[in-house]
Chains A and B, each alone.
Chain A
Amino acid sequence: MLVMSLRILVLLLGLALVPSAWAQEQAFTNRSTELKERGAADARAVGTLAENTEVKVLARSGGWTRVDAGGRSGFVNVFHLRFPVTVESKSGGGGFFSGMTSAMGGGGRKTEKATIATTGIRGLSPEDLKSASPDAAALAKAQSYRADKPTAERFAREGKLTAVSVDNPQGDRR
Protein backbone atom coordinates (compact mmCIF):
# COMPACT_ATOMS: atom_id res chain seq x y z
CA MET A 1 0.00 0.00 0.00
CA LEU A 2 2.77 2.36 0.96
CA VAL A 3 4.67 1.40 -2.18
CA MET A 4 1.55 2.05 -4.21
CA SER A 5 1.06 5.51 -2.68
CA LEU A 6 4.69 6.32 -3.32
CA ARG A 7 4.30 5.30 -6.95
CA ILE A 8 1.28 7.53 -7.30
CA LEU A 9 3.17 10.34 -5.64
CA VAL A 10 6.08 9.88 -8.03
CA LEU A 11 3.66 9.88 -10.95
CA LEU A 12 2.01 13.07 -9.73
CA LEU A 13 5.37 14.72 -9.17
CA GLY A 14 6.32 13.73 -12.70
CA LEU A 15 3.17 15.32 -14.08
CA ALA A 16 3.85 18.51 -12.17
CA LEU A 17 7.10 19.01 -14.02
CA VAL A 18 6.94 21.59 -16.72
CA PRO A 19 7.01 20.13 -20.18
CA SER A 20 8.11 22.65 -22.78
CA ALA A 21 8.53 23.17 -26.48
CA TRP A 22 11.82 21.30 -26.56
CA ALA A 23 10.40 18.18 -24.88
CA GLN A 24 11.25 14.87 -26.51
CA GLU A 25 14.72 16.08 -27.40
CA GLN A 26 17.30 13.43 -27.99
CA ALA A 27 20.24 13.33 -25.62
CA PHE A 28 23.03 10.96 -24.66
CA THR A 29 24.54 10.17 -21.31
CA ASN A 30 28.06 11.58 -21.17
CA ARG A 31 29.18 8.98 -18.60
CA SER A 32 27.79 5.93 -16.89
CA THR A 33 25.06 7.24 -14.58
CA GLU A 34 22.15 6.14 -12.45
CA LEU A 35 18.54 6.45 -13.53
CA LYS A 36 16.80 7.64 -10.36
CA GLU A 37 13.24 7.16 -9.27
CA ARG A 38 13.02 10.78 -8.09
CA GLY A 39 15.06 13.87 -8.78
CA ALA A 40 17.20 13.63 -5.67
CA ALA A 41 20.67 12.36 -4.87
CA ASP A 42 19.34 9.99 -2.20
CA ALA A 43 16.56 8.62 -4.41
CA ARG A 44 16.49 4.94 -5.32
CA ALA A 45 18.21 4.02 -8.57
CA VAL A 46 15.90 2.20 -10.97
CA GLY A 47 18.78 1.33 -13.24
CA THR A 48 22.19 2.27 -14.55
CA LEU A 49 22.68 3.86 -17.94
CA ALA A 50 25.97 3.18 -19.68
CA GLU A 51 27.91 6.04 -21.26
CA ASN A 52 26.42 7.13 -24.60
CA THR A 53 22.96 5.71 -23.84
CA GLU A 54 20.35 7.49 -25.93
CA VAL A 55 17.52 9.05 -23.94
CA LYS A 56 14.59 11.35 -24.61
CA VAL A 57 14.42 14.45 -22.46
CA LEU A 58 10.96 14.87 -20.92
CA ALA A 59 11.40 17.78 -18.51
CA ARG A 60 13.94 19.71 -16.45
CA SER A 61 13.59 20.08 -12.72
CA GLY A 62 16.44 21.75 -10.88
CA GLY A 63 19.52 19.56 -10.90
CA TRP A 64 17.65 16.66 -12.44
CA THR A 65 16.37 15.94 -15.91
CA ARG A 66 13.45 13.57 -16.38
CA VAL A 67 14.20 11.24 -19.26
CA ASP A 68 12.81 8.22 -21.06
CA ALA A 69 15.52 5.62 -21.54
CA GLY A 70 14.21 2.92 -23.85
CA GLY A 71 10.80 2.86 -22.19
CA ARG A 72 12.10 3.30 -18.65
CA SER A 73 11.46 6.71 -17.22
CA GLY A 74 13.49 8.32 -14.45
CA PHE A 75 15.78 11.16 -13.49
CA VAL A 76 19.36 11.79 -14.56
CA ASN A 77 21.79 14.34 -13.08
CA VAL A 78 21.68 17.58 -15.14
CA PHE A 79 25.43 17.40 -15.78
CA HIS A 80 25.37 13.81 -17.06
CA LEU A 81 23.79 14.49 -20.46
CA ARG A 82 25.13 15.79 -23.71
CA PHE A 83 23.15 17.04 -26.68
CA PRO A 84 24.04 16.14 -30.24
CA VAL A 85 22.47 19.10 -31.99
CA THR A 86 24.90 21.72 -33.13
CA VAL A 87 24.12 24.95 -34.85
CA GLU A 88 25.30 25.86 -38.29
CA SER A 89 25.50 29.45 -39.32
CA LYS A 90 24.00 30.25 -42.69
CA SER A 91 26.95 32.51 -43.33
CA GLY A 92 29.43 29.73 -42.76
CA GLY A 93 29.96 30.16 -39.06
CA GLY A 94 32.54 31.78 -36.88
CA GLY A 95 34.96 30.42 -34.35
CA PHE A 96 32.28 30.06 -31.75
CA PHE A 97 30.41 27.36 -33.59
CA SER A 98 33.42 25.39 -34.59
CA GLY A 99 34.28 25.47 -30.90
CA MET A 100 30.83 24.25 -30.02
CA THR A 101 31.01 21.40 -32.49
CA SER A 102 34.35 20.18 -31.24
CA ALA A 103 33.25 20.47 -27.63
CA MET A 104 30.19 18.38 -28.25
CA GLY A 105 31.80 15.89 -30.52
CA GLY A 106 34.74 15.29 -28.22
CA GLY A 107 36.00 11.80 -27.57
CA GLY A 108 35.44 10.66 -31.13
CA ARG A 109 31.69 10.67 -30.77
CA LYS A 110 29.52 11.34 -33.72
CA THR A 111 28.29 14.91 -33.92
CA GLU A 112 25.13 15.49 -35.83
CA LYS A 113 24.44 18.80 -37.44
CA ALA A 114 21.11 20.39 -37.98
CA THR A 115 20.43 23.04 -40.53
CA ILE A 116 18.41 25.72 -38.89
CA ALA A 117 15.22 27.04 -40.34
CA THR A 118 14.44 30.51 -39.12
CA THR A 119 11.81 31.44 -41.66
CA GLY A 120 8.84 33.10 -40.08
CA ILE A 121 10.55 33.83 -36.80
CA ARG A 122 10.99 37.50 -36.13
CA GLY A 123 14.33 37.77 -34.44
CA LEU A 124 16.65 40.58 -33.47
CA SER A 125 19.25 40.86 -36.20
CA PRO A 126 22.68 42.43 -35.74
CA GLU A 127 21.59 45.10 -38.25
CA ASP A 128 18.49 45.91 -36.18
CA LEU A 129 20.67 46.42 -33.16
CA LYS A 130 23.39 48.45 -34.87
CA SER A 131 20.97 50.82 -36.54
CA ALA A 132 18.74 51.31 -33.49
CA SER A 133 17.84 54.81 -32.45
CA PRO A 134 17.05 55.38 -28.80
CA ASP A 135 13.42 55.17 -27.73
CA ALA A 136 13.05 57.35 -24.63
CA ALA A 137 9.36 56.64 -24.16
CA ALA A 138 10.04 52.88 -24.08
CA LEU A 139 12.83 53.46 -21.55
CA ALA A 140 10.47 55.39 -19.28
CA LYS A 141 7.90 52.61 -19.60
CA ALA A 142 10.49 49.93 -18.79
CA GLN A 143 11.53 51.89 -15.70
CA SER A 144 7.91 52.14 -14.57
CA TYR A 145 7.91 48.35 -14.04
CA ARG A 146 10.75 48.45 -11.50
CA ALA A 147 10.17 46.69 -8.19
CA ASP A 148 11.12 48.47 -4.97
CA LYS A 149 12.69 46.65 -2.03
CA PRO A 150 9.48 46.03 -0.02
CA THR A 151 7.73 44.69 -3.13
CA ALA A 152 10.62 42.31 -3.86
CA GLU A 153 10.68 41.14 -0.24
CA ARG A 154 6.94 40.50 -0.19
CA PHE A 155 7.24 38.61 -3.49
CA ALA A 156 10.02 36.47 -1.99
CA ARG A 157 7.92 35.63 1.09
CA GLU A 158 5.02 34.59 -1.13
CA GLY A 159 7.35 32.16 -2.91
CA LYS A 160 8.86 30.89 0.38
CA LEU A 161 12.23 32.19 -0.76
CA THR A 162 14.46 32.45 2.30
CA ALA A 163 17.69 34.41 2.09
CA VAL A 164 20.75 32.47 3.18
CA SER A 165 24.31 33.56 3.72
CA VAL A 166 26.86 32.12 1.29
CA ASP A 167 30.56 32.70 1.30
CA ASN A 168 31.46 33.27 -2.30
CA PRO A 169 34.68 31.51 -3.19
CA GLN A 170 35.32 34.44 -5.54
CA GLY A 171 35.89 36.75 -2.63
CA ASP A 172 32.85 38.87 -1.91
CA ARG A 173 31.45 38.11 1.51
CA ARG A 174 27.89 39.13 2.00
Chain B
Amino acid sequence: MKRILFLAMILAALPLHAQFGGFDIGKVIDIGKKAVDQGSPMGKEFSQDDEIGLGDALTASFLGASPLHPDANLQRYVNRVGKWIALHSDRPDLPWTFSVIDTETINAFAMPGGSVIVSSGLVKRLASESELAGVLAHEIAHVVRKHQLTAIQKGMTADFWKGVGTSIASDRIKIGGGVVGRAAGEIAKPYLLDMAGNLIKDGFYLRPLDRGMESEADQMAVVLAIRSGYDAYGLAGALQMLAQYKGDADAASLFSTHPAPSERLADLEKFVPSVERYAKQPQLLEVRYKQNVK
Protein backbone atom coordinates (compact mmCIF):
# COMPACT_ATOMS: atom_id res chain seq x y z
CA MET B 1 0.00 0.00 0.00
CA LYS B 2 2.80 2.35 0.92
CA ARG B 3 4.52 1.62 -2.38
CA ILE B 4 1.37 2.37 -4.37
CA LEU B 5 0.99 5.66 -2.55
CA PHE B 6 4.62 6.45 -3.17
CA LEU B 7 4.35 5.70 -6.91
CA ALA B 8 1.20 7.81 -7.09
CA MET B 9 3.10 10.71 -5.56
CA ILE B 10 5.86 10.40 -8.10
CA LEU B 11 3.30 10.33 -10.91
CA ALA B 12 1.58 13.37 -9.49
CA ALA B 13 4.89 15.17 -9.42
CA LEU B 14 5.61 14.51 -13.09
CA PRO B 15 4.64 16.94 -15.84
CA LEU B 16 1.55 15.86 -17.77
CA HIS B 17 3.40 15.13 -21.00
CA ALA B 18 5.62 12.69 -19.14
CA GLN B 19 2.63 10.91 -17.69
CA PHE B 20 0.60 10.63 -20.83
CA GLY B 21 3.07 11.28 -23.64
CA GLY B 22 6.52 9.76 -23.71
CA PHE B 23 5.92 7.99 -20.44
CA ASP B 24 8.96 6.17 -19.19
CA ILE B 25 7.92 4.10 -16.21
CA GLY B 26 11.42 2.66 -15.88
CA LYS B 27 12.86 6.11 -15.39
CA VAL B 28 10.25 7.06 -12.85
CA ILE B 29 10.94 3.95 -10.81
CA ASP B 30 14.67 4.63 -11.07
CA ILE B 31 14.34 8.11 -9.61
CA GLY B 32 12.09 6.96 -6.82
CA LYS B 33 14.13 3.84 -6.08
CA LYS B 34 17.35 5.80 -5.85
CA ALA B 35 15.83 8.25 -3.40
CA VAL B 36 14.29 5.47 -1.30
CA ASP B 37 17.51 3.45 -1.30
CA GLN B 38 19.28 6.39 0.24
CA GLY B 39 16.61 6.71 2.88
CA SER B 40 15.50 10.05 1.48
CA PRO B 41 12.32 11.67 2.73
CA MET B 42 10.68 11.65 -0.70
CA GLY B 43 7.04 10.75 -0.37
CA LYS B 44 7.05 10.59 3.39
CA GLU B 45 7.40 12.83 6.39
CA PHE B 46 10.84 14.22 7.11
CA SER B 47 12.33 12.68 10.22
CA GLN B 48 13.55 15.21 12.78
CA ASP B 49 17.13 14.14 12.03
CA ASP B 50 16.67 14.84 8.32
CA GLU B 51 15.05 18.17 9.09
CA ILE B 52 18.04 19.16 11.23
CA GLY B 53 20.54 17.85 8.66
CA LEU B 54 18.85 19.84 5.89
CA GLY B 55 18.89 22.97 8.08
CA ASP B 56 22.61 22.47 8.76
CA ALA B 57 23.38 22.15 5.06
CA LEU B 58 21.32 25.26 4.27
CA THR B 59 23.01 27.21 7.07
CA ALA B 60 26.43 26.21 5.72
CA SER B 61 25.41 27.65 2.34
CA PHE B 62 24.18 30.91 3.88
CA LEU B 63 27.47 31.24 5.72
CA GLY B 64 29.24 30.60 2.44
CA ALA B 65 27.41 33.62 0.99
CA SER B 66 27.75 35.93 3.96
CA PRO B 67 30.28 35.49 6.77
CA LEU B 68 29.46 35.27 10.46
CA HIS B 69 29.77 38.59 12.28
CA PRO B 70 33.19 38.54 14.01
CA ASP B 71 31.86 39.68 17.43
CA ALA B 72 31.74 36.45 19.48
CA ASN B 73 29.98 38.23 22.38
CA LEU B 74 27.21 39.35 20.02
CA GLN B 75 26.81 35.76 18.71
CA ARG B 76 26.52 34.37 22.27
CA TYR B 77 24.10 37.12 23.28
CA VAL B 78 21.76 36.47 20.35
CA ASN B 79 21.94 32.71 21.07
CA ARG B 80 20.92 33.29 24.70
CA VAL B 81 17.93 35.43 23.77
CA GLY B 82 16.89 32.94 21.08
CA LYS B 83 17.32 29.82 23.19
CA TRP B 84 15.38 31.33 26.10
CA ILE B 85 12.45 32.04 23.76
CA ALA B 86 12.70 28.64 22.04
CA LEU B 87 12.45 26.96 25.47
CA HIS B 88 8.89 28.33 25.59
CA SER B 89 7.94 26.89 22.21
CA ASP B 90 6.53 23.48 21.34
CA ARG B 91 9.97 22.34 20.16
CA PRO B 92 12.32 23.33 22.99
CA ASP B 93 14.73 20.46 22.40
CA LEU B 94 15.85 21.20 18.84
CA PRO B 95 19.55 22.14 18.52
CA TRP B 96 18.64 25.86 18.35
CA THR B 97 21.40 27.88 16.72
CA PHE B 98 21.24 31.65 16.10
CA SER B 99 23.79 33.17 13.76
CA VAL B 100 24.41 36.85 13.05
CA ILE B 101 25.73 37.31 9.52
CA ASP B 102 27.85 40.33 8.72
CA THR B 103 25.82 42.19 6.11
CA GLU B 104 23.98 45.50 5.80
CA THR B 105 21.07 43.76 4.11
CA ILE B 106 18.12 43.66 6.50
CA ASN B 107 16.72 40.17 6.86
CA ALA B 108 16.28 37.11 9.04
CA PHE B 109 15.91 33.51 7.89
CA ALA B 110 14.74 30.29 9.50
CA MET B 111 16.04 26.89 8.44
CA PRO B 112 14.22 23.65 9.15
CA GLY B 113 15.49 22.03 12.35
CA GLY B 114 16.15 25.14 14.47
CA SER B 115 18.85 27.21 12.77
CA VAL B 116 18.03 30.92 12.57
CA ILE B 117 20.08 33.52 10.74
CA VAL B 118 19.74 37.25 11.33
CA SER B 119 21.70 40.01 9.62
CA SER B 120 23.80 42.55 11.52
CA GLY B 121 22.05 45.21 9.42
CA LEU B 122 18.80 44.26 11.13
CA VAL B 123 20.24 43.72 14.62
CA LYS B 124 21.90 47.13 14.81
CA ARG B 125 18.68 48.93 13.88
CA LEU B 126 16.67 47.43 16.73
CA ALA B 127 16.14 49.47 19.88
CA SER B 128 15.90 46.84 22.61
CA GLU B 129 16.23 43.18 23.52
CA SER B 130 12.44 42.92 23.36
CA GLU B 131 12.55 43.95 19.68
CA LEU B 132 15.23 41.32 19.01
CA ALA B 133 13.05 38.84 20.90
CA GLY B 134 10.15 39.69 18.59
CA VAL B 135 12.26 39.13 15.47
CA LEU B 136 13.78 35.85 16.73
CA ALA B 137 10.41 34.62 17.99
CA HIS B 138 8.97 35.14 14.48
CA GLU B 139 11.70 32.92 13.02
CA ILE B 140 11.34 30.36 15.85
CA ALA B 141 7.61 30.19 15.07
CA HIS B 142 8.41 29.36 11.41
CA VAL B 143 10.58 26.44 12.61
CA VAL B 144 8.06 25.23 15.19
CA ARG B 145 5.28 25.23 12.59
CA LYS B 146 7.63 23.75 9.93
CA HIS B 147 6.70 26.49 7.46
CA GLN B 148 9.90 26.31 5.39
CA LEU B 149 9.85 22.51 5.42
CA THR B 150 6.25 22.50 4.21
CA ALA B 151 7.09 24.94 1.41
CA ILE B 152 10.14 22.87 0.45
CA GLN B 153 8.10 19.65 0.31
CA LYS B 154 5.41 21.36 -1.77
CA GLY B 155 8.05 22.32 -4.31
CA MET B 156 9.49 18.83 -4.65
CA THR B 157 8.71 17.86 -8.18
CA ALA B 158 10.36 14.98 -10.00
CA ASP B 159 12.62 17.59 -11.61
CA PHE B 160 13.79 18.64 -8.19
CA TRP B 161 14.84 15.09 -7.39
CA LYS B 162 16.81 14.48 -10.58
CA GLY B 163 20.07 15.84 -9.22
CA VAL B 164 19.51 14.60 -5.72
CA GLY B 165 21.49 11.57 -4.73
CA THR B 166 23.93 11.80 -7.63
CA SER B 167 26.74 12.70 -5.29
CA ILE B 168 26.28 9.66 -3.08
CA ALA B 169 29.61 8.23 -4.16
CA SER B 170 31.41 11.52 -4.48
CA ASP B 171 33.32 13.39 -1.83
CA ARG B 172 31.02 16.41 -1.77
CA ILE B 173 30.44 15.96 1.91
CA LYS B 174 33.89 17.31 2.49
CA ILE B 175 33.66 20.97 1.81
CA GLY B 176 36.24 23.61 2.51
CA GLY B 177 38.34 21.15 4.44
CA GLY B 178 35.58 20.46 6.93
CA VAL B 179 32.62 18.18 7.17
CA VAL B 180 29.04 19.38 7.14
CA GLY B 181 27.14 17.66 9.87
CA ARG B 182 25.18 18.11 13.07
CA ALA B 183 28.28 17.96 15.16
CA ALA B 184 31.97 17.51 14.59
CA GLY B 185 32.55 14.12 13.05
CA GLU B 186 28.92 13.47 12.20
CA ILE B 187 28.35 13.51 8.47
CA ALA B 188 25.14 14.78 6.98
CA LYS B 189 23.46 12.47 4.54
CA PRO B 190 24.60 13.36 1.02
CA TYR B 191 21.07 13.72 -0.36
CA LEU B 192 20.40 16.44 2.21
CA LEU B 193 23.44 18.35 0.96
CA ASP B 194 22.16 17.93 -2.60
CA MET B 195 18.71 19.11 -1.59
CA ALA B 196 20.12 22.15 0.20
CA GLY B 197 22.29 22.95 -2.81
CA ASN B 198 19.28 22.73 -5.13
CA LEU B 199 17.15 24.92 -2.87
CA ILE B 200 19.84 27.60 -2.59
CA LYS B 201 20.53 27.65 -6.35
CA ASP B 202 16.82 27.73 -7.03
CA GLY B 203 16.46 30.84 -4.86
CA PHE B 204 14.10 29.25 -2.33
CA TYR B 205 15.13 31.74 0.35
CA LEU B 206 14.58 34.68 -1.99
CA ARG B 207 10.91 33.87 -2.32
CA PRO B 208 8.18 34.77 0.15
CA LEU B 209 6.28 32.16 2.15
CA ASP B 210 2.48 32.08 2.09
CA ARG B 211 0.92 35.18 3.62
CA GLY B 212 -0.92 32.96 6.11
CA MET B 213 2.36 31.49 7.36
CA GLU B 214 3.81 34.96 7.94
CA SER B 215 0.73 36.04 9.79
CA GLU B 216 0.78 32.89 11.94
CA ALA B 217 4.49 33.45 12.71
CA ASP B 218 3.83 37.09 13.72
CA GLN B 219 1.05 36.08 16.10
CA MET B 220 3.00 33.19 17.60
CA ALA B 221 6.00 35.53 18.00
CA VAL B 222 3.95 37.81 20.24
CA VAL B 223 2.82 34.83 22.33
CA LEU B 224 6.37 33.43 22.64
CA ALA B 225 7.75 36.86 23.62
CA ILE B 226 5.14 37.28 26.37
CA ARG B 227 5.74 33.71 27.64
CA SER B 228 9.45 34.52 27.85
CA GLY B 229 8.80 37.64 29.94
CA TYR B 230 9.34 40.22 27.20
CA ASP B 231 7.21 43.21 26.27
CA ALA B 232 4.32 42.30 23.95
CA TYR B 233 5.25 45.06 21.48
CA GLY B 234 8.81 44.05 20.57
CA LEU B 235 7.84 42.75 17.14
CA ALA B 236 5.62 45.79 16.55
CA GLY B 237 8.56 48.08 17.35
CA ALA B 238 10.81 46.18 14.93
CA LEU B 239 8.13 46.44 12.23
CA GLN B 240 7.80 50.17 12.86
CA MET B 241 11.54 50.52 12.23
CA LEU B 242 11.15 48.50 9.02
CA ALA B 243 8.17 50.60 7.94
CA GLN B 244 10.30 53.72 7.89
CA TYR B 245 13.52 52.16 6.68
CA LYS B 246 14.60 52.95 3.17
CA GLY B 247 15.36 49.40 2.14
CA ASP B 248 16.85 48.06 -1.03
CA ALA B 249 14.37 46.07 -3.05
CA ASP B 250 17.09 44.49 -5.14
CA ALA B 251 18.98 42.92 -2.27
CA ALA B 252 18.13 39.61 -0.62
CA SER B 253 16.27 41.67 1.95
CA LEU B 254 13.24 41.25 4.10
CA PHE B 255 11.49 43.87 1.98
CA SER B 256 11.26 41.45 -0.91
CA THR B 257 10.42 38.32 1.10
CA HIS B 258 7.85 39.54 3.61
CA PRO B 259 4.51 41.34 3.46
CA ALA B 260 4.74 45.12 3.89
CA PRO B 261 5.55 46.10 7.50
CA SER B 262 2.53 48.42 7.57
CA GLU B 263 0.20 45.51 6.74
CA ARG B 264 1.82 43.34 9.40
CA LEU B 265 1.45 46.15 11.95
CA ALA B 266 -2.23 46.48 11.09
CA ASP B 267 -2.69 42.73 11.67
CA LEU B 268 -0.79 42.85 14.96
CA GLU B 269 -2.92 45.72 16.20
CA LYS B 270 -5.89 43.36 16.02
CA PHE B 271 -4.05 40.46 17.68
CA VAL B 272 -1.91 41.92 20.49
CA PRO B 273 -4.83 43.02 22.73
CA SER B 274 -6.04 39.39 22.88
CA VAL B 275 -2.84 38.22 24.62
CA GLU B 276 -1.38 41.36 26.19
CA ARG B 277 -3.17 40.75 29.50
CA TYR B 278 -0.97 37.70 30.17
CA ALA B 279 2.18 39.81 30.44
CA LYS B 280 3.05 40.22 34.12
CA GLN B 281 6.26 42.24 34.39
CA PRO B 282 7.24 42.65 30.75
CA GLN B 283 10.84 43.64 30.09
CA LEU B 284 12.26 45.81 27.29
CA LEU B 285 15.94 45.45 28.30
CA GLU B 286 17.11 48.47 26.32
CA VAL B 287 20.30 48.92 28.34
CA ARG B 288 21.39 45.26 28.09
CA TYR B 289 20.79 45.44 24.35
CA LYS B 290 23.04 48.48 23.98
CA GLN B 291 25.74 46.76 26.02
CA ASN B 292 25.77 43.75 23.70
CA VAL B 293 25.06 45.24 20.29
CA LYS B 294 27.81 47.66 19.43
Interface positions of A (Cβ within 8 A of B) = 16-18, 20-22, 25, 27, 57, 59-65, 78-79, 81-83, 85, 87-91, 93-94, 96-97, 99-100, 103-104, 114, 116, 118, 121-126, 128-143, 145-149, 151-153, 155-156, 159-170, 172, 174
Contact = CB atoms under 8 A, between A and B. Distances in A.
Given A18-B289, A135-B63, A165-B278, 9 more contacts: A63-B272, A89-B249, A96-B255, A123-B251, A124-B103, A142-B63, A147-B84, A159-B288, A163-B88
Interface string B110-121: 000001000101
Interface of B: 56-57, 59-68, 72, 75-76, 79-84, 87-90, 95-99, 101, 103-105, 107, 115, 119, 121, 124-125, 127-131, 174-180, 183-184, 193, 196-197, 200-203, 205-206, 208, 216, 219-220, 223, 226-234, 236-237, 240-241, 243-253, 255-256, 259-260, 262-263, 265-266, 268-269, 271-272, 274-275, 278-290
A146 B97 contact: yes
Contacts of A104: 260, 262
B240 A60 contact: yes
A137 B177 contact: yes
Contacts of A126: 203, 206, 250-252
B105 A17 contact: no
Contacts of A27: 244
B65 A146 contact: no
B88 A174 contact: yes
Contacts of A151: 80, 83
Contacts of A87: 246-249, 255
11 contacts: A18-B127, A87-B247, A99-B260, A122-B103, A124-B107, A134-B61, A134-B175, A136-B177, A139-B178, A163-B88, A170-B216
A64 to B, nearest CB: 8
Nearest to A136: B178
A91 B121 CA distance: 22
A149 to B, nearest CB: 6
Given A130-B201, A133-B61, A18 B286 contact: yes
Contact of A145 (B75, B281, B288): B75
Given A20-B127, A147-B79, A90 B84 contact: no
A153 B84 contact: yes
A90 B250 contact: yes
A130 to B, nearest CB: 6
Contacts of A81: 240
B209 to A, nearest CB: 13
A90 to B, nearest CB: 5
A18 B268 CA distance: 23
A17 B290 CA distance: 11
A63 B183 CA distance: 41
B48 to A, nearest CB: 17
Given A79-B265, A134-B176, A146-B83, A123 B103 contact: yes
B236 A132 contact: no
Given A114-B246, A124-B105, A136 B231 contact: no
Contact of A123 (B76, B95, B104, B124): B104
Contact of B84 (A103, A136, A155, A165): A155
B80 to A, nearest CB: 4
Contacts of A96: 208, 249, 255-256, 259-260
Contacts of B177: 136-137
Given A22-B244, A121-B104, A147-B80, A137 B252 contact: no
Contacts of B266: 79
A124 B119 contact: yes
A143 B208 CA distance: 26
B148 to A, nearest CB: 15
A20 B115 CA distance: 28
A129 B247 contact: no
Contacts of B236: 63, 78-79
A168 B286 contact: no
A16 B286 contact: yes
A18 B290 contact: yes
A63 B197 CA distance: 41
